Amino acid sequence: MESPEFSAGMRNQGPNGGPPKRKRSIMESSPASIGDNDRDERDDGSPETKGGRRLPGVKRACNECRQQKLRCDVVQEPFSSCSRCNRLHLECKIESNFKRVGKRSKHAEMEKEIEKLRRAVQSAKAQGFVVDEDDDNNTPGNATHSQLHSPVVNSHYSHTRNPSLMGSDEAVSSLLHLKRGGSYAMPRIVRELEDFRITEDDEGVLFNDYFHYYHPFLPFLNPHQTPDQYYQQYPLLYWAIVAVASRRYGHDRSFLTKLSSPLTRLLWTTIGEVPQSYFAVKALCLLCTWPLPTSTSSSDPTHILGGVLMKTATGLGLHRPNHMNDFSRVPIELNKEGLHDRIKTWAVANIVAQAVGTGYGQPATTLYDWTLATRQGDTSPASLGPELEARLQIERFCDKVSKEMYSNASDPRGVAGDEHRAMLMRVYRREYNELAASVLSKGVSPVVNLHLKAACLHLRLAGFFDSNNTPNYLEDIMGLWRATTSFLDFILDGDPSCHDHYSYQYRDQYMLKYASNYIQQMLVAAGFSLLKLLRSFFAKSIDFDRGRELFHRTIQAIRTTSVIQNDLYWRLAELMVQIWNGAGRENPNAYRPDGTDPVVDDSLQLKVRCRHSMSLVFDSIWHWREEYQARGRGTLDALKQPTNPDSANESSASSTHLDSTLAPPSHGIPNLGLAAAASNGSITPGGGSSTMGGNQQLMGMNGFDTLDVWDPQHWMLDGLLDFNYTFVPPIEGA
């Protein structure tokens, strides 16, 4: 019979009588288990705990030694770093909630991050970035490869504004140098909209460009606010400012192209969610004043956005700024600055809506109420300042002209009768003279003066509706000629008597390069007016050579205002040249002065009469369709080489090359070429691409077969060529 001592001794022995084996638990094999932490304490010589509480005076290892499972000689009271941390220059500290990090999981995360970085490097190389190679390495890319293997590569760089945007892509960007003109740039992303990103440098330059070049056309935003503040107020407002400023952004010509599609989706998403902030009204004001360039009129929603702009403003109660609570579910208390900002926004909304209505030949959705009543010498929050006050007066005048001249309820087309229109013309001529005297007495900028002359042209274009039997017919046509030449002379040459403070607006074609959509439309109308007058009996009553030279300069000016080469305005200039050359080819001396009195006929009257003062533009293009395009005498196949005015009088009637004096200015606008692109950048909901196949069909004359006659503007050009926003090089030989 075995004794208890013998049995216990046998149980403590291993196989074959050897020493007993140590049993390992499952938790012991896990490097990140809680058991490891307890065992670390025992390995460090720390006494056991009793009842879950550590005994007084217990010795505990520092975080670094516990992580490596090493003995630690740290002294807690008074605290003294351990010898290992001192030797390795590590931070020696003791934290009660410290947990060891398993090496296996850490290595797995590092491997995933390295693989992600490698893919990002390949993607960056494909986009044109150049890796800064180390010449001391035999294998290309070893330097970058070794840096990518560092687990702390991302910790060297941080996002300048929003740390959440900093990721592996920027870590790769920090290792890459973008070579442009011999300089190196390291982009720092501050904002992103879908896949579009903007760097800190680009943001600063774009906001500076906006307030320097575009702000004078519509001075209602605060130039002292930072880009961050605008983004916090309303993201759509921030991106609208960026889009406007990128129209002439010299650093990256494709900036507007890349931003167009994401901004389009953001715009319509914002509208679909029913904006609840008046900052959305500010954003719409910008996008209606400088719309994103579009290829066809069917994809131009500016007139629609003008209606949305006014309905949003009235829905938020901007027209009743002193009674905002009547339009809100929560109480609103406005200080003086907030009240003034809302009144200014309401005034600008009406200015923009009126400009949209006038430029597109449609009724304006304006509301000139008590809030916008003119109060001389008013210093209350309702005061708008001389610039906006003058602009508001000018647009109210345009509104009266449109409503009285083109809103006759007794006429199917809404046009006032000849006698009534002649009487209105005399009344509004006097009113315009009074308006001009009032505006110019305030010492306003040339931009306001330009809009004043545009209002005069808007009034005088009604002369094309008159019958040749109307009393004082030639006098009214002469007034139209003076208004046209005055507008063109001012936008081309400026006013030398202007104050030096505004001299920058006369340099480097400022008014053409940064012109609003409304100014571009009035410039086109002035060009067609000049064309129609010079190719009629009236040419014998004026200086034909001066008119011819002015027409040439107008063609150049319209091409200068184009944001994208071969866009809508560029093509309209091409049509003007073809009509000019076609009329000159038929009878080149028919319209030159010969000392005889002109025979007045009805050649100046319009067939298209439903588009207010813009009826001239649509009537002229209808004439081109019927007399030139339909008969094969004119096409738009000369878009790569613009047609030379008066080329019909030269040796080659089909010349498409400009001489040195008439060549369009080269102002660095992107050339979209003639290739079909992948995506349409027009600001329409889900704007897709609609391209034709083959150069013959692309440039042919069958594009008018499916036109909608009632498109907002330039519907007669739809289908000829569908431009997209993706920048592609021109097809060779196209």
User: DSSP for 493-537?
Assistant: H--TTS-GGGGGGGSTTHHHHT--HHHHHHHHHHHHHHHHHHTSG
Name the pLDDT band for 720 (thresholds 50, 70, 90): very low
8 Å CB contact between 316 and 278: yes
CA–CA separation, 32 and 40 (whole Å) = 12
How confident is the model at residue 39, as a pLDDT? Answer: 43
Helix (H, G, I), strand (E, B) or coil at 388: helix
Contact between 350 and 395 under an 8 Å Cβ cutoff? The reply is yes
Q: What does the block give as tokens for 148?
A: 């990518």
- pLDDT tens digits along 497-530: 777 788 888 888 999 999 999 999 999 999 999 9
Tell me: cis bond preceding 78? Omega within 30 of 0 counts: yes
| The pLDDT value given to residue 123 | 72
pLDDT in tens, 436-455: 999 999 889 999 999 999 99
Task: State the pLDDT at residue 708.
Answer: 35
Give residue-wise pLDDT tens across range 371-413. Answer: 888 655 566 667 888 999 999 999 999 999 999 999 888 889 8
Q: What is the DSSP letter of 25?
A: -
635: amino acid identity, one letter: T
Three-state SS sequence of 266-282: HHHHHHHCCCCCCHHHH
Which has the higher per-residue pLDDT, 322 or 395? 395
Q: Could you tell me which residue, 522 or 104, shows the higher pLDDT?
A: 522
pLDDT at 265: 95
Q: Do 191 and 203 touch, CB atoms closer than 8 A?
A: yes
- Angstrom distance (rounded) from CA 708 to CA 337: 47
pLDDT digits (tens, 9 = 90+) for 256-301: 989 999 999 999 999 999 998 999 999 999 999 999 987 666 678 9
Q: Are 659 and 644 in contact (CB under 8 A)?
A: yes
Cis, peptide link before residue 227, omega less than 30° from 0: no
pLDDT grade for 689, boundaries at 50, 70 and 90: very low
Say what the pLDDT of residue 534 is: 92
Take residue 150 and report the two structure tokens written for it: 């560092």
Average pLDDT, the chain: 75
Contacts of 121 (CB under 8 A, 6+ apart): 131, 144, 148, 172, 175, 176
More confident residue, 66 or 457: 457
Looking at the DSSP bridge assignments, the partners of residue 80 are: 75
pLDDT higher than 80, residue 59: no
Q: Which residue has the tokens 């931003």?
A: 259
Contact 71, 85 (CB under 8 A): no
Pairing type for strands 189-193 and 196-199 reads antiparallel
pLDDT at 647 over 50: yes
User: What digits encode the pLDDT tens for the residues 527-567?
Assistant: 999 999 998 999 988 999 999 999 999 999 999 999 987 78
Q: What angle do CA 156, 157, 162 make, to 5 degrees?
A: 145
Among 122-136, 190-204, 225-239, 431-445, the minimum mean pLDDT is found in 122-136
**The token pair that represents 623 in the structure block:** 């004439």
Segment 153-179, tens digit of pLDDT: 333 334 444 444 444 454 445 445 444
pLDDT of residue 18: 52
Range of lowest pLDDT (6-15, 428-437, 473-482) = 6-15
| pLDDT for 312 | 96
